[in-house]
Chain A
Amino acid sequence: MSRVRRRVLFFVPVGIAMAAVLAWGLVGLPSFGLPHSDYARYFAQHATGQRHTTNVVAAIVFDYRGWDTMGEELIMVSGVMGTALLLRSTRGEEHRAARDPVTSELLTWLRPGMIPLVLLLGLWTISYGYITPGGGFQGGVIGAGAALLTWLAGSYQRYQVLTPDPLVDAAEGGGAFVYLAVGLAGLAAGGTYLHNLIPLGTTGDLASGGTIAVLNAATGLAVAAGLVLIFHEFLEDYTETVPDVAAEER
């Protein structure tokens, strides 16, 4: 009997037991669509009044549960670092010029049309993150998507030129550093970690939310840079597998 068959046979009783425990746990949860906990109700009612941001989710992410978000962000940064270290350490020293010419005409049209639009959408999602739906996490991903489009519609070389390694590394570390620094500044001023020191501003304005705005921007930067770095590492490996068509024809 193969290992996989044995594992699956073992899984059947364990899976059934697990499903039963899962169902038991889910039964204890509030019914779908019914009013929920006081914790959630409190934020829904008071977040805008207390933090002057109209996006309650952003107020929770970057303020009420800002400590939790810092942990998440550090997980992301370490994930990105681990990926970069693992892929860089096994890669050969010699660097060939990447050969991945775009053959589709439709894709080359993406370049002037889509890339600036996607980048703008990313920046917009980050900068209005605490007023309308959006935020640093979502906007950062969209912004990194714009960078990926430069590879798709142009070439890997173009991607490298537009996102130079030192800049991306600095943005990644800088975003995480600003998050830590804002938290420590609250401590240094005699408050708690992540205590708000910046005037809260007028609700609904771009200049509102105090530290929420700063942390939102820092997170957007770190997320975008992190994803750009991940794409870079995988693209570097991918382009090495692209056959050298030009050299074969010569």
Chain B
Amino acid sequence: MSVFPYLVAGVLFIAGLYGVVSSRNYIHLAVCLTVMQSSTYVALITVGYLTNGQAPITKGAKPGKPLVDPVVQSLTLTDVVVSVAVLALVLSLALRAYRTHGTLDPDEMREMRG
């Protein structure tokens, strides 16, 4: 038994959150959000891991060995792809903000409005 994989997930989440809080640049903020999101992947895959398990593919599987949790893997794989599309949306918002305000700093943008 080991707590380290969960620890990695926790550290990634808090580190990403710190980045979001201290961010002075929308692109940096988008990257920090994906770091936070990655922590959920680590947590999910960790939950599904089995000591002496094998991949959840029954073709060519060794009999007698248990399969690792396929549910968390399916949740993770769909979200990895979907998060790319969401990241693109966030980045395009950043690009648009830069075009209209000439800055990527959220605080400066607020000051401009007065």
Point out the residues of chain A lying under 8 angstroms from B14, CB to CB.
Answer: 15, 18-19, 22
A227 to B81, CA, bound (A): 9
A32:B56 contact, CB within 8 angstroms: no
B96:A90 contact, CB within 8 angstroms: yes
Q: Among B56, B75, B85, B89, point to the contact of A44 (Cβ < 8 A).
A: B56
| 0/1 string, B1-32, CB within 8 A of A gives 1 | 11111100110011001100110100000000
Among A10, A37, A39, the one with the most B-chain Cβ atoms within 10 Å of its Cβ is A37
A60:B71 contact, CB within 8 angstroms: yes
| 0/1 string, A18-53, CB within 8 A of B gives 1 | 110011001001111111110110011001100000
A82:B77 contact, CB within 8 angstroms: no
A8 at the interface (CB under 8 A from B): yes
Point out the residues of chain B lying under 8 angstroms from A35, CB to CB.
Answer: 50, 66
Given A40-B71, A61-B74: A33 touches B50 (CB 8 Å cut-off): yes
Q: Among B13, B59, B93, point to the contact of A54 (Cβ < 8 A).
A: B59
Point out the residues of chain B lying under 8 angstroms from A59, CB to CB.
Answer: 70
Q: Among B57, B84, B95, B99, point to the contact of A132 (Cβ < 8 A).
A: B57
Main SS at interface, chain B = helix
B81:A137 contact, CB within 8 angstroms: yes
Closest to B43 in A: A26
Q: Among A31, A76, A82, point to the contact of B82 (Cβ < 8 A).
A: A76
Measured CB to CB, the closest approach of chain A to B37, in angstroms, equals: 13
Point out the residues of chain B lying under 8 angstroms from A140, CB to CB.
Answer: 81
Point out the residues of chain A lying under 8 angstroms from B73, CB to CB.
Answer: 57
Measured CB to CB, the closest approach of chain B to A216, in angstroms, equals: 12
A80 to B84, CA, bound (A): 10
B88:A83 contact, CB within 8 angstroms: yes
B21:A8 contact, CB within 8 angstroms: yes
Given A39-B71, A40-B69: A32 touches B92 (CB 8 Å cut-off): no
Given A15-B18, A79-B88: A48 touches B78 (CB 8 Å cut-off): no
Given A22-B13, A72-B82: A54 touches B58 (CB 8 Å cut-off): yes
B107:A80 contact, CB within 8 angstroms: no
A33 to B46, CA, bound (A): 8
B41 at the interface (CB under 8 A from A): no
A11:B89 contact, CB within 8 angstroms: no
Given A8-B21, A60-B70: A29 touches B82 (CB 8 Å cut-off): no
B86:A79 contact, CB within 8 angstroms: yes
A36:B95 contact, CB within 8 angstroms: no
Closest to B56 in A: A56
Given A18-B17, A80-B85: A44 touches B77 (CB 8 Å cut-off): no
Q: Among B43, B47, B88, point to the contact of A234 (Cβ < 8 A).
A: B88
A86 at the interface (CB under 8 A from B): yes
A169 at the interface (CB under 8 A from B): no
Given A36-B50, A56-B58: A75 touches B86 (CB 8 Å cut-off): yes
Among B3, B9, B73, B78, the one with the most A-chain Cβ atoms within 10 Å of its Cβ is B78
A4:B17 contact, CB within 8 angstroms: no
9 closest cross-chain pairs (CB), A and B: A79-B85, A54-B59, A33-B51, A40-B69, A44-B67, A56-B56, A56-B70, A60-B74, A11-B21
